[in-house]
Amino acid sequence: MKLSKPNLGFSTEKYLKAQKKAIKERLNKFSGRLYLEFGGKLLDDFHAARTLPGYDPDAKLNLLKSLKKDLGILYCISAKQLSNGKIRGDFGIGYDLATLKALETLKKNKLPVLGVVINRYEGEIEAKNFERRLKNMGISVYKRKEIKGYPNNLKLILSNNGYGADDYIKTKKSLVVVWGAGPGSGKLSTCLGQIYLDEQHGINSGYAKFETFPVWDLPLDHPANIAYEAATADLGDFNLIDPFHLKAHKKQAVNYNRDVEAFPIIKETFEKILSKNNFSRNYCSPTDMGFNVLKAGIIDNNIVSLAAKREINFYVFRYRQEFKKGLIGKEVLDRMENIMEKVGINEEFLPTVSLARASKKAAECQKNKGENGVYCGSAIELKNGVIITGKNSSLLHSEAAMILNAIKILAKINDDFELISPSVLKQINKLKDQIGETSHSLDCSETLLALAASTSFNPLALKAQSFLSDLRGCYMHTTHKLSSADESIFRKLGIWVSTDGRVGKE
């Protein structure tokens, strides 16, 4: 079988060239410094990578590396996020660990971090502990207090008891990127507070916003913009035509509700604290504040539209699992149903979904499949569009069988050849029985360890193992809830996993 390269719909190179130019142009508008709020993810932007085939998940990181001479980075986290144990869904880790992971990546890439800003601080014990941990690592920490009536009580906010009471972050950098652990981390407030304090120190600073989605110059109903609504359905975000932009420039531009709602307050803030010649006072709309040039990177609209619909389908299953865990309400699921209807898809738009379910049904009819009356099915779509399935048995979980089948196909190994000796699998099954494991069959993590052990005496196992990296960026669906070990291994392999999340015989 000849495996073709995947079609790309996006050029990261073209996009970064246009984006760097836009940032430089805005930076030149200010004699002081530019506070650039980074919306979305600076690192590992997998939503963008899935929606825009060809987009580098670390494109923004590479952009900042090209601007390093002028750059300083502030990282924001909310004390409320720390105290609530907020989890970042794509990594399955808390915002505290996500912050440490981000700081380590920035350090590795030699990008200058000015410090971590803890927003909405009210003496939370979790925030105090995290501050101590950061300081022990040699990282500067700044605290900004919760302001009553924020963001509407401008009289208090723009006073010595508001922004004036916050830590002032001094820097000689002309471009300050303000990034955060996620929505609600206080990025905008940090930017405005610093501009307020800079003005008190006679520094002519300004504000701009860097957003990936929604794309202002794509249609409101473009699947890429609707996919953004899916990715933020738990926040209740929605796209709309920017009314301020339409009124001021007689031109349609797509923005989203929170920026549109916040704009009047931002504009009033600028009018109250900035000198008349400050460029930020010229902003007539939330779209003016940003410089989204993502459209410049789209090289095949059809590919992007298809990928965006897949991303919407992917989020349906993510939210269903979060609903089962009690992390979101039913209104989010209802919102996703409306979004799917808007783009004309159902929950089986991802072809892996129907084939994983079909594989489960097929297992019920086959001998030597299933375990203790439980039947599971999995499916993965390779980058050339070929879909490989797997069924569970007393030896292997369905996901493990599927992965072995997939790397066999990629390595062009005949299906008759065994990558792992059945006797080895049986011995591991026996050991699991001895230590009281309820399921004797191997999950994917255990299977890959067995595969690695087999490479010393089986050259085909070594060959197949070398193709695991080709699974990065592939969509996979499974009918049953993954083990925690498998959730981790698929995350490391870079496989996009959706699941029906069934447990046992349900």
Rounded Cα gap, residues 461 and 459, in angstroms = 5
What is the pLDDT averaged over residues 271-295? Answer: 91
Q: Which helix (H) or strand (E) holds 259?
A: helix 257-273
Residue 494: predicted pLDDT:
93
What is the pLDDT averaged over residues 382-403? Answer: 94
What is the pLDDT averaged over residues 320-328? Answer: 92
| 402: confidence class by pLDDT, cuts 50, 70, 90 | very high
Query: Which residues, at least 6 apart from 357, have a Cβ–Cβ distance to it below 8 Å?
Result: 377, 479, 500
Q: Give the tens place of pLDDT for each residue, 214-265.
A: 999 999 999 999 999 999 999 899 999 999 999 999 999 999 998 999 999 9
What is the CATH number that goes with domain 351-502?
A: 3.40.140.40
Residue 321: predicted pLDDT:
93
Per-residue burial over 138-148, b if 16 or more Cβ lie within 10 Å, else e, is ebebbbbbebe
36-290 CATH, one of 3.10.630.10, 3.30.930.10, 2.60.40.10, 3.20.10.10: 3.10.630.10
DSSP for 72-103, please give it.
Answer: EEEEEEEHHHHHHT-EETTTTEEHHHHHHHHH
What is the pLDDT averaged over residues 46-53? Answer: 94
Same CATH fold assignment for domains 36-290 and 351-502: no
Return the bridge partners of 396, or none.
442
Rounded Cα gap, residues 253 and 283, in angstroms = 14
> What is the signed CA dihedral for 17, 181, 127, 143, rounded to 10 degrees?
30
Distances from the Cα of 242 to the Cα of 184, 265, 402, 478, angstroms: 22, 15, 47, 40
CB of 439 closer than 8 Å to CB of 485: no
Reply yes or no on whether the pLDDT at 85 is more than 90. Answer: no
DSSP for 174-210, please give it.
Answer: SEEEEEESSTTS-HHHHHHHHHHHHHHTT---EEEEE
Mean pLDDT score of the chain: 91
Q: Give the tens place of pLDDT for each residue, 160-201.
A: 999 999 999 999 999 999 998 777 889 999 999 999 999 999
| 435: confidence class by pLDDT, cuts 50, 70, 90 | confident
Q: Give the tens place of pLDDT for each residue, 449-505.
A: 999 989 988 999 999 999 999 999 999 999 999 988 899 999 999 999 999 999 887
Which pTM does this prediction carry?
0.86
ω into 264 cis (within 30 of 0): no
Residue 295: predicted pLDDT:
95
**Residue 381 Ramachandran class (φ > 0 left, ψ -120 to 50 alpha, else beta):** beta
Strand 71-78 relative to strand 87-88, pairing: unpaired
| 3: confidence class by pLDDT, cuts 50, 70, 90 | very low
Domain spans in the chain, listed from the N-terminal domain onward: 36-290, 301-343, 351-502
Reply yes or no on whether the pLDDT at 43 is more than 70. Answer: yes
